């Protein structure tokens, strides 16, 4: 495996001086690229995830087409509950569906902490193939969902604006909830270690629903488990934690030893830095819907964003995943503007 030709992201995460800020976009693999849509029509969602050649092709597309400084593995956070023994379907235009969610103690008998090589070996195979295909052009980001976000789907059984049923289990059956969170955590640590062994250069933990919890519950239900994951991985690779909406706990997240923190667009960059402190790299926080603006507006707003974060310990990114209806030249304008800024 050759050394990286572009290691801006890794150097920025380690806090080293860089020529310019690196840029990538959350959910850049899939969704908005016509080249992805062709594969989407031909193969089922989990078939795309489970076939290393397809996962590889989709992962590398945004590197070739929009010129991002990092690739992110094409997969999904819900392969973890699948590996634990729950059925997960991806329903066209509806999203995830878990027909037999976890509701009571005895449901835990239906799931287990699996051998990740047996159940998720296809992800490790995809990573090895992607590393070959990238041939050192840019680093590869591996990922997993945070235990709380995974619990949301395992208990609620589908997407939700409030995840009230998932919260209800945490509040009324705390012992069940914490047992489940620990099983997810143990699976996730083994899974991410496997991703790193296969070649992932850095890891992002997605806590998409962290912001649904109060600061106190976020600590008890989410951060406690994220802390275990960061501790288990951080000596091997830099770890990025993205907990959407959990701006109140940026300091506590920095204290986990994470190298980077994802920031959404609902907090001022200056305040995010003040909360997080100087010993962590910040990543974000362009409103994904703003990529629908005319290109000159995107260019202007990207410059404003970089000036607000400063070029030190900063990775340009969106504040959440790219939307499916973003024109490719708008995504490219976002990336190009970051690359030209100095």
Catalytic residues: 27, 31, 40, 76, 153
Task: Report the candidate in 68, 139, 89 with the shortest Cα–Cα distance to residue 339.
Answer: 68
Rounded Cα gap, residues 312 and 16, in angstroms: 9
Which 8-state DSSP code applies to residue 219?
I
Phi/psi at 283 (nearest 5 deg)? -135, 125
- In the complex, the smallest distance separating the C-beta of residue 139 from ligand CP3, rounded to whole angstroms, is 14
| C-alpha distance from residue 154 to each of 110, 159, 181, 203, 318 (Å) | 12, 10, 10, 22, 27
Q: Does 325 bind ligand CP3 (CB under 6 A)?
A: no
C-beta closer to ligand CP3: residue 90 or 297: 90
Name the residue with the smallest CB distance to ligand CP3. 30
Task: Report the candidate in 110, 102, 106, 48 with the shortest Cα–Cα distance to residue 79.
Answer: 48
Phi/psi at 260 (nearest 5 deg)? -140, 150
Q: Does 76 bind ligand CP3 (CB under 6 A)?
A: yes
C-beta closer to ligand CP3: residue 140 or 305: 140
Rounded Cα gap, residues 59 and 130, in angstroms: 7
- How many of the chain's residues bind ligand CP3 (CB under 6 A)? 23
Rounded Cα gap, residues 256 and 158, in angstroms: 30
C-beta closer to ligand CP3: residue 95 or 136: 95
C-beta separation of 116 from 187 below 8 A: yes
Q: Does 103 bind ligand CP3 (CB under 6 A)?
A: no
Task: Report the candidate in 57, 196, 80 with the shortest Cα–Cα distance to residue 140.
Answer: 196
Using the rule CB under 6 A, which residue among 12, 21, 28, 222 binds ligand CP3? 28
- In the complex, the smallest distance separating the C-beta of residue 197 from ligand CP3, rounded to whole angstroms, is 20
Interacting residues with ligand CP3 between 156 and 215 (CB under 6 A)? 159, 206, 208
The window from 72-80, 210-218, 221-229, 329-337 that contacts ligand CP3 (CB under 6 A) reads: 72-80
The window from 90-98, 107-115, 121-129, 172-180 that contacts ligand CP3 (CB under 6 A) reads: 90-98
At 44 the three-state DSSP class reads: coil
Interacting residues with ligand CP3 between 257 and 316 (CB under 6 A)? none
Using the rule CB under 6 A, which residue among 30, 101, 139, 319 binds ligand CP3? 30
Using the rule CB under 6 A, which residue among 52, 81, 96, 147 binds ligand CP3? 96
- In the complex, the smallest distance separating the C-beta of residue 75 from ligand CP3, rounded to whole angstroms, is 6
E-strand ranges in the chain read: 71-72, 89-91, 95-97, 140-145, 202-207, 239-243, 260-263, 281-286, 314-318
- In the complex, the smallest distance separating the C-beta of residue 206 from ligand CP3, rounded to whole angstroms, is 4
- In the complex, the smallest distance separating the C-beta of residue 262 from ligand CP3, rounded to whole angstroms, is 10
Question: What residues make contact with ligand CP3 under the rule CB under 6 A?
Answer: 26-31, 40, 45, 72, 74-78, 90, 95-96, 143, 159, 206, 208, 320-321
């Amino acid at each position: 495996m050759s050394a990286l030709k572009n290691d801006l992201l890794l150097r920025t995460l380690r806090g080293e001086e860089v020529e310019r800020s690196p840029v990538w976009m959350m959910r850049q693999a899939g969704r908005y690229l016509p080249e992805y849509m062709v594969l989407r029509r031909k193969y089922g969602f989990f078939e795309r995830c489970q076939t290393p050649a397809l996962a590889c092709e989709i992962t590398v597309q945004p590197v070739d087409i929009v010129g991002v400084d990092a690739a992110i593995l094409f997969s999904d956070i819900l392969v973890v509950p699948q590996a634990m023994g729950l059925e997960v379907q991806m329903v066209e235009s509806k999203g995830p569906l878990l027909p037999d969610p976890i509701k009571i103690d005895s449901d835990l008998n239906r799931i287990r902490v699996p051998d990740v090589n047996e159940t998720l070996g296809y992800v490790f195979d995809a990573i090895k193939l992607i590393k070959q295909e990238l041939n050192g052009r840019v680093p590869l980001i591996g990922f997993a969902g945070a235990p709380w976000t995974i619990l949301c789907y395992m208990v609620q059984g589908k997407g939700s604006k409030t995840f009230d049923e998932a919260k209800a289990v945490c509040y009324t059956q705390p012992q069940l909830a914490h047992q489940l969170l620990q099983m997810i955590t143990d699976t996730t640590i083994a899974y991410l270690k496997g991703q790193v062994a296969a070649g992932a250069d850095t890891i992002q933990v997605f806590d998409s629903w962290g912001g649904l919890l109060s600061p106190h519950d976020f600590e008890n239900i989410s951060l406690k488990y994220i802390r275990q994951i960061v501790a288990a991985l951080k000596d091997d690779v830099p770890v990025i934690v993205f907990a959407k909406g959990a701006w109140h706990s940026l300091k506590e997240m920095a204290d986990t030893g994470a190298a980077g923190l994802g920031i959404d667009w609902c907090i001022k960059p200056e305040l995010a830095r003040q909360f997080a402190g100087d010993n962590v790299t910040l990543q974000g926080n362009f409103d994904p819907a703003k990529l629908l603006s005319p290109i000159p507006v995107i260019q202007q707003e990207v410059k404003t964003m970089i000036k607000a974060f400063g070029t030190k310990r900063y990775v340009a990114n969106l504040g959440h995943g790219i939307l499916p209806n973003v024109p490719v030249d708008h995504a490219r304008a976002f990336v190009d503007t970051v690359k030209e800024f100095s």
